[in-house]
Structure 1
Amino acid sequence: MFTFPSKPWAVLCLALGVSASAEAAELTFDKQQIRTHIATLASDEYGGRGPLTRGETLSIDYIAQEFAKLGLKPGNGDSYLQPVPLAQVTADQGVTLKLGQLELTNGSEFTARTQRITPRIEVKDSPMVFVGYGINAPEYGWNDYAGLDVRGKTVVMLVNDPGFATQDPTLFKGNAMTYYGRWTYKYEEAARQGAAAALIIHQTDAAGYAWGVVQNSNTGSKYTLVDASNNASELPVMGWLHQDAAHKLFKQSRLDLAALSQAAAQPGFKPVTLTGTASIRFDNTARMAESHNVLGLLPGSEMPEEVVMIHAHWDHLGTNKSDGHIYNGAIDNATGVAGVIELARVLSEQHRQAPFKRSILFSSFTAEETGLIGASHFATHPTVPAGQIVAFLNIDGMNVDNALDYILRYGDGVSELEGYLERAARSQGRTVRPDPRPQAGLLYRSDHFALAKVGVPGLLFMSLGDNDPDYIPHRYHKPADDYHPDWSLEGMAQDLSLMAIIAAQLANNGDWPKWLEASEFRKRRALDGRQ
């Protein structure tokens, strides 16, 4: 196991790679203050930190006040807040989905929602077609929509991608999910194809989470950015099917879902028409409002226009209005926000003794849980041009228990930041282990991905149950994700130390970490002259 120095919450300045003038100084993480941050943000008073709720006001005020107390400059002009215009869309939860002769129950058998800003959504007598994985990926030579017209139809598809299904390392990325396996992509592609509705068949192993996560994440209010057309180009109905309901649907068509799933994972699969039509109608209540990202800046001494970002999203799932359950999100992601605030304190302290050459921007975005909305808004309306952002270090859940002799790497051969992670871990006497759940696609499920889309490389720091195998099945995105005063927080200290090492190096060395794999991310970075 990792052994701490004599002061377990200490980070030595030499480890941070700062100038010799600061050799004698020692920075320490404040364990009690971190506890206070987590306990406050994850308290019932904050109501689960839902965007556009009192919990948002409390959360963003708390973070902004902490940034101000630490002496950080406002990160958006003269404000610590960046407005994010969005809509809170609440769909009627008494809706029934009809698939041929089947009438499915909302929540237990399916979920459905929309991002269109309209009082009513109706899909009536829409022909159904099984489109395998619903993927159009030219670089992999794969197109489930080839020669198919799905305009006005309901497309039914599998979660994840063919690589996971076959475990063939030469197909997509084998066991590791690609972006084409993410539900966000599948809905986007279905919309581009003109579908009326898309229903993704849930499978726990392929999705990386149980049905309860789908149900809790999709049956309450959701949030979306809004364009000039009130999101008219978005898919009308974004749905999920419980696997049992999907088996009933295919049985109704005298088809074997298991056999078709195997066939869908092979090149050359042809879509299959399902018996009957799909119909669904539900009313929407849309509330237009502003949410907020929080930004605090530590200006660099020599290259202030070049920025290293340290980040954690502040939102969680809020309070369920139907049963009153509060989703406090203590680990996901009150720990991350507490970590950002503490890193801001430690690095600001260091900066006063030996100023960093580049700026460090500490951020906490809104509405990550509903589709990386705050991050997407920042990516398209940045307070710092994307071409000037060196790297994006993103915390999304921290290890609240004992220290570990390893740290997880999400993605493999993606960017040169992986080398920074390797070296920092080695300096702590730790090893780097690959993501144990690559099929879950965590590389595409947190705020760093929105920045990757505009070319900014990032690292994801996520610890969801490394010391607690009970977390994912019983606490993740559930009311049980609460703060516990008996947490040792030694793992947080260890990981915050590692992040401080990486951040300080990047803030001083003038490096521009490059993308390693050919991708749209790499192409975008090349446009900024950094690749």
Structure 2
Amino acid sequence: MNLVVINGKDLRLLLLAVLHSCLAIAHPTPKPIRKLRKALNTVDTASFKSHVQYLADDKLRGRQPGTPGYQMAVDYVVAQLQQRGVQPAGEKGTFLQTVRLRWAFTEVGSSLRLTPPTGLAALLTYGQDFTFYPNPKQTETTVEAGLVFAGFGISAPELGYDDYAGLDVKGKVVVVTRQEPTRFPDAVRLYTTDLLTVLQTAQRKGAVGVLWASVKPDAKPPEPLRGLVSVLDSAGNVAVSRSYVDGGLQLAGSINAATLQRLFVGAAQDTGRVLRALRAGQPAGVALLPRLQAMQRSRYQDMVSYNVAGKIEGTDPQLRNEYVVHTAHLDHLGVGAPIAGDSIYNGAHDNATGVATLLEMAGIYQQLKPKYKPKRSVLITLVTGEELGLLGSAYFARNPTVPKQQLVANVNTDMPTIIAPLLSVVPLGAENSSLAVPVAQAAQALGLTVEADPEPAQNRFIRSDQYSFVTQGIPALHIKYGNKTADGRNNLSELVQKWRAITYHKPQDDINGQFDFGAGRKYVQLNFLIGYLVATDAKRPTWNVGNFFGERFGKTGSPQ
């Protein structure tokens, strides 16, 4: 693939223009939609609210994976799916897929020593000069190695950029900056600088460790106080992790700006020069002279959680073996630090409303006459561990309970933010594939406007469960609110930002908060129609020609 790399902002605007041109085309309402009005109208706001009310009740204690409260949520959604005629699609004839979670914590006694070419070695202070990410596979690791600075840690020659060009990093620890490049569009930038992508890149280059360096003088290296969580397979191996890559990498962690300065003593370039080059969009790798001696200790807490998977079987003899996957995460943050006297993080909007959307969608399918049933099968999947790093969806996307090659698309619903009438929507990810067409058709049928993302800085495309399917080569999208308002000011994002400041990821996200359940009803109808159109189309969704994610993942997927 040959790509012309232009300024990230300009490229983002170009992509949005392409999306607008696609969505602006008048798409005639497909005949199947016109026949679905009666079933669509069965969606009941009272029923939607009742799901949210139960899932966000204090007795579920914030639905943290591995807790009794999360199990109550699992039992509830399984019962609701059964009532709506959904068939089990989990393991061993059940609705459940077991997800084994390992919480890993860095133990006291971890150490880092730097030995310069001349002079005495320096023992650094944990929590001040450096921190380590816990290792979910080994309780103790030791590394003695040289060091190399590799800019942002990006190796993307196809984009005209490679921080590793000319560097020998085999057997060494790679140091990268926490700054972000400005030359790429948002989604590409976020993928290339994602912690896991940087680790995978370093591993491919033969490195034995990665250290992220702060450039802010007063900033302490971040400490994963709550630990980091991975998924284990049935044999006890690490199956999914956002902070660990097996196969050579022994160490991952962070250092402060003062430690970075120490590493550059005697190097061919100083930190000021290399950081200026990076800000100008130029790679600035350099060999570092000190050697590192590190010891990292970890301890574990293992627990079991579950994904829930149900199936609505298709009618076509061949296409019924292909699947459109609807997802919503069932978990939230549990019990945490009190805010305004409340310590239960109920997650009413995040993501009881998304779960309610899928349950009510299943109800629509139950109301369809046999001749209007979809050709493909539909999976209703409630996943665990989204708040821990998209873990449940990543495990399902890599190890689905149906043949992986038969997954044709994912439509994700995460915190639709139903606090005002739904007049427009943003299909995050639709610009990457042919899924833009059913989105446009479904939105038009419901009188909704399709818009570009009003908050691109939120980076929402790679922050929720649809991204787990994208990295496995499966076209996916996530429907969020648009900016349109009834008063014509078209500034809904401003209201959402104010709401988020006082509610998002706080105990205040409970059933007593701000809701527009009529908007929830329309979200149900929209998500149903998008999935239904894909499930009734004889053609599988396809990645757009030359699309970054399609080129990167569409042929082989990724171990992410």
- Classify the secondary structure of the residue corresponding to 2:497: coil
Deviation of 1:483 after TM superposition, in Å, equals 3.8
Q: Which residue of 2 aligns with 1:516?
A: 544
Q: Which moved more, 1:28-37 or 1:261-270?
A: 261-270
Q: Percent identity?
A: 29
Q: Which moved more, 1:424-433 or 1:97-106?
A: 97-106
What CA distance in whole angstroms lies between the structure 2 residues aligned with 1:430 and 1:47?
Answer: 36
Q: Which residue of 1 aligns with 2:134?
A: 114
Which residue among 153, 164, 179 is the counterpart of 2:191? 179
8 Å contact kept, 2:203–2:249: yes
Deviation of 1:193 after TM superposition, in Å, equals 3.4
Q: Would you say 1:88 and 2:99 are equivalent positions?
A: no
The one-letter amino acid paired with 2:462 is: Y
1:280 to 1:185, Cα distance in 2 relative to 1, 3 A: same
1:94 to 1:153, Cα distance in 2 relative to 1, 3 A: same
8 Å contact kept, 2:81–2:362: yes
Deviation of 1:224 after TM superposition, in Å, equals 1.4
What CA distance in whole angstroms lies between the structure 2 residues aligned with 1:513 and 1:468?
Answer: 32
8 Å contact kept, 1:133–1:158: yes
Which residue among 99, 111, 132 is the counterpart of 2:151? 132
Q: Which moved more, 1:431-440 or 1:251-260?
A: 251-260
Q: Which residue of 2 aligns with 1:36?
A: 50
Q: Would you say 1:105 and 2:92 are equivalent positions?
A: no
Q: Which residue of 2 aligns with 1:359?
A: 377
The one-letter amino acid paired with 2:517 is: L
- Classify the secondary structure of the residue corresponding to 1:469: helix
Q: Which residue of 1 aligns with 2:527?
A: 499
Deviation of 1:456 after TM superposition, in Å, equals 1.6
8 Å contact kept, 2:343–2:507: yes
Compute the TM-score of the two structures, normalised by the length of structure 1. 0.79
The one-letter amino acid paired with 1:117 is: K
What CA distance in whole angstroms lies between the structure 2 residues aligned with 1:24 and 1:175?
Answer: 39
8 Å contact kept, 1:372–1:447: yes
What CA distance in whole angstroms lies between the structure 1 residues aligned with 2:335 and 2:377?
Answer: 37
Q: Which residue of 1 aligns with 2:397?
A: 379
1:411 to 1:19, Cα distance in 2 relative to 1, 3 A: closer
The one-letter amino acid paired with 2:127 is: T
1:346 to 1:24, Cα distance in 2 relative to 1, 3 A: closer
Aligned length: 494
Which residue among 266, 279, 284 is the counterpart of 1:270? 284
What CA distance in whole angstroms lies between the structure 2 residues aligned with 1:223 and 1:114?
Answer: 9
What CA distance in whole angstroms lies between the structure 1 residues aligned with 2:133 and 2:338?
Answer: 17
Which residue among 159, 165, 168 is the counterpart of 1:146? 165
Deviation of 1:300 after TM superposition, in Å, equals 1.5
Deviation of 1:273 after TM superposition, in Å, equals 5.2
What CA distance in whole angstroms lies between the structure 1 residues aligned with 2:70 and 2:498?
Answer: 28
- Classify the secondary structure of the residue corresponding to 1:18: helix
What CA distance in whole angstroms lies between the structure 1 residues aligned with 2:109 and 2:525?
Answer: 49
CA displacement 1:97-151 (0-9 Å, x = unmatched): 7786763637xx9764234322234556x65543211011131132212232335
Q: Which residue of 2 aligns with 1:390?
A: 408
- Classify the secondary structure of the residue corresponding to 1:507: helix
8 Å contact kept, 1:17–1:501: no
The one-letter amino acid paired with 2:498 is: D
1:435 to 1:483, Cα distance in 2 relative to 1, 3 A: same
Structure 2: which 5+ runs fail to align? 1-27, 115-121, 239-245, 483-491
The one-letter amino acid paired with 1:222 is: L
The one-letter amino acid paired with 2:99 is: V
Mapping of 1:69-468 within 5 angstroms? 69-76=83-90, 78-92=93-107, 103=125, 105=127, 112-122=132-142, 127-151=146-170, 153-159=172-178, 161-162=180-181, 165=182, 171-173=183-185, 177-200=189-212, 218-226=224-232, 230-231=237-238, 232-233=246-247, 235-240=249-254, 245-246=256-257, 249-250=260-261, 260-266=274-280, 268-272=282-286, 281-302=295-316, 303-320=319-336, 325-350=343-368, 354-411=372-429, 413-438=431-456, 440-462=458-480, 466=493, 467-468=495-496
What CA distance in whole angstroms lies between the structure 2 residues aligned with 1:345 and 1:513?
Answer: 25
Deviation of 1:294 after TM superposition, in Å, equals 0.5
Q: Which moved more, 1:433-442 or 1:339-348?
A: 433-442
8 Å contact kept, 2:207–2:248: no
- Classify the secondary structure of the residue corresponding to 2:378: strand
What CA distance in whole angstroms lies between the structure 2 residues aligned with 1:181 and 1:382?
Answer: 27
What CA distance in whole angstroms lies between the structure 2 residues aligned with 1:463 and 1:202?
Answer: 35
What CA distance in whole angstroms lies between the structure 2 residues aligned with 1:473 and 1:389?
Answer: 37
Deviation of 1:367 after TM superposition, in Å, equals 1.9
What CA distance in whole angstroms lies between the structure 1 residues aligned with 2:428 and 2:450?
Answer: 10
1:252 to 1:280, Cα distance in 2 relative to 1, 3 A: closer
The one-letter amino acid paired with 1:81 is: L
What CA distance in whole angstroms lies between the structure 2 residues aligned with 1:409 and 1:295?
Answer: 24
Q: Which residue of 2 aligns with 1:489?
A: 517
8 Å contact kept, 1:28–1:346: yes
- Classify the secondary structure of the residue corresponding to 2:164: coil
Deviation of 1:472 after TM superposition, in Å, equals 4.8
Q: Which residue of 1 aligns with 2:12?
A: none
The one-letter amino acid paired with 1:192 is: R
Deviation of 1:252 after TM superposition, in Å, equals 8.4
Compute the TM-score of the two structures, normalised by the length of structure 2. 0.75
The one-letter amino acid paired with 1:307 is: Y
What CA distance in whole angstroms lies between the structure 2 residues aligned with 1:197 and 1:50?
Answer: 31
Cα RMSD after superposing both structures: 4.0
The one-letter amino acid paired with 2:152 is: Y
What CA distance in whole angstroms lies between the structure 2 residues aligned with 1:179 and 1:78?
Answer: 36
**Larger Rg: 1 or 2?**
2
1:441 to 1:139, Cα distance in 2 relative to 1, 3 A: farther
Deviation of 1:397 after TM superposition, in Å, equals 1.4
What CA distance in whole angstroms lies between the structure 1 residues aligned with 2:113 and 2:504?
Answer: 31
Structure 1: which 5+ runs fail to align? 1-13, 166-170, 205-210
- Classify the secondary structure of the residue corresponding to 1:47: helix
The one-letter amino acid paired with 2:325 is: M
Deviation of 1:85 after TM superposition, in Å, equals 3.6
CA displacement 1:57-94 (0-9 Å, x = unmatched): 22222221111121100012521011234433233489
